[in-house]
Amino acid sequence: MLKKNLYKNQYGNIYYRKIIDGVPITLSAHTNDSVIANKLHSALEYQALSNFYDPVDKVKFMPFESLVKKYLDFDHVWTKGSRKMTSGALYTYLNNKGKLPENPNAQVIIRQRVNTCINWGIKNNIKTDVPKFQQVGTSIPRTRVFNKEEMDLLLNETNDLNFRSFIQFAYYTGARRGELVGLKNYHFKPLYFEVYGKSGKRMVRLNTQARAILMGQNINEWDYTGDYISKKFKKELRRFNIRDGRFHDLRRTFGYDLIVKHNVPIFKVSKLLGHKSVSTTEKHYAPLLVNQIEDFTL
């Protein structure tokens, strides 16, 4: 049983709360063990009184749910996709009362967003009742690539001719979806085009096939939003009965085909994909390439 003014929040963490002259003071016991928290009771009471009568800073307490709302309402420089992912992760955490989903990648995303939200609060002198995750973990790289039959359908049988050429261009360049949104004629040079993407400003190489598409294409007809691209592509996948596919898998297939079918060295593929280092390329493509190693004996 907890001593007076101590309580557990919905996540099991113990806090000390005392109202002094109408001002609520809330302090974390930094534990979920009732025995330890009870032993800290006197120290927490002394700290609460000190914070009220001799404040050393202007840090204020805010329940995590309120912090999330304040954080999401702030005018961050986010894309629509980033805002959607961040909001979804934080509210999933709140709605499940801190219980993480089974999917490892979803766990990583939620831990990252929770920690980022708490860090934003600390930066703005706000403490909350949820501790940061000490270990965020790493996501498991997606390994889906399209096979030859699937690529033939996507490149040659997509109904909308403008969107078909867009799919072709995405595959022949290996560009990210976000890098293909809002392209204008002035972005293009004879052998490359410049984009501001996930890894910052980079040059995307135009091979012969990509240049051929541009010669017969009005770029203004590719005035697609990111959401439209994803939904339209999913619709084509369903029409072709292609399962578990995403638009980003075109980029992964681009890299895979260069390495496996055309024996392009991985450091060159890394440059073409705009990865910050070859280790990033190896992380994403090593699981794909294991089955390509010829049989061997020891």
Domain boundaries, the chain: 6-56, 64-127, 148-292
Cα 199 to Cα 180: distance, rounded to the nearest angstrom: 14
Residue pair 180/170 in contact (Cβ under 8 Å)? The answer is yes
pLDDT reading at 235 higher than 90: yes
Secondary structure element (H or E) that encloses residue 147, with its range: none
Residue-wise pLDDT for 237-293, tens only, equals 999 999 999 999 999 999 999 998 898 999 999 999 999 889 888 888 877 776 666
pLDDT reading at 145 higher than 70: yes
pLDDT reading at 114 higher than 90: yes
Instruction: Report the predicted TM-score, pTM, of the whole model to 2 decimal places.
Output: 0.61
Residue pair 117/132 in contact (Cβ under 8 Å)? The answer is no
Q: What is the dihedral of CA 254, 257, 240, 208, to 10 degrees?
A: 60
Q: What is the CATH number of domain 148-292?
A: 1.10.443.10
Predicted local confidence at residue 283, as pLDDT: 81
pLDDT reading at 296 higher than 60: no
**Which stretches of 181-277 are DSSP H helices?**
208-215, 226-239, 248-260, 266-273
Phi/psi region, residue 184 (left: phi>0; alpha: psi -120 to 50; beta: rest), is: beta
| Average pLDDT for 58-74 | 89
Predicted local confidence at residue 11, as pLDDT: 80
pLDDT band at 105 (very low <50, low <70, confident <90, very high): confident
The Cβ of residue 89 has, within 10 Å, a number of other Cβ atoms equal to 20
- Tell me the one-letter amino acid at 179: E
pLDDT band at 234 (very low <50, low <70, confident <90, very high): very high
